[in-house]
């Protein structure tokens, strides 16, 4: 219901500027079709957070498991690897 009005007005590029939109990319792609360019800002947001948040030693050492909703757990894994400096398991979670 949000994408269709944009398409009806002739939008040919959609910029996913909010952090929760990448989780909706498959649905947005299905609605928009292959003629519409989708720009995902996830990597830019992760880079900016890494610039703004100073690195700090961990308060404790332990395991980290990430549960991700959405169709692309690889995106979450890449963000975690970038921010945390190490790979961590990401498990898809269906709500």
Is residue 34 situated within a structural domain?
A: yes
Tokens of 33: 């079709």
Cβ-contact 45, 76 below 8 angstroms: no
Which ranges in 1-95 belong to alpha helices (H)?
Answer: 3-8, 25-32, 42-52, 73-84
Give the pLDDT confidence score for residue 12 in this predicted structure: 95
| Residue pLDDT, tens place only, 37-95 | 999 888 888 889 889 988 878 777 777 788 887 767 788 888 888 888 888 888 888 77
In which domain, by residue range, is 20 found?
Answer: 1-40
Cβ-contact 7, 30 below 8 angstroms: no
Give the pLDDT confidence score for residue 78 in this predicted structure: 83
Give the pLDDT confidence score for residue 53 in this predicted structure: 87
Is residue 54 situated within a structural domain?
A: no
Measured distance CA(43)–CA(31) in Å, rounded: 23
| Residue pLDDT, tens place only, 5-14 | 999 999 999 9
Number of folded domains that form the chain: 1
Is residue 77 situated within a structural domain?
A: no
């Amino acid at each position: 219901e949000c994408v269709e009005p944009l398409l009806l007005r002739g939008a040919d590029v959609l910029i996913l500027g909010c952090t929760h939109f990448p989780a909706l990319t498959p649905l947005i792609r299905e609605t928009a079709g292959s003629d519409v360019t989708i720009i995902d800002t996830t990597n830019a947001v992760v880079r900016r957070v890494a610039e703004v948040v100073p690195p700090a030693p961990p308060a404790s050492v332990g395991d980290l498991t990430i549960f991700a909703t959405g169709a692309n757990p690889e995106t979450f894994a890449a963000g975690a690897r970038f921010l945390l400096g190490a790979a961590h398991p990401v498990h898809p979670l269906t709500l």
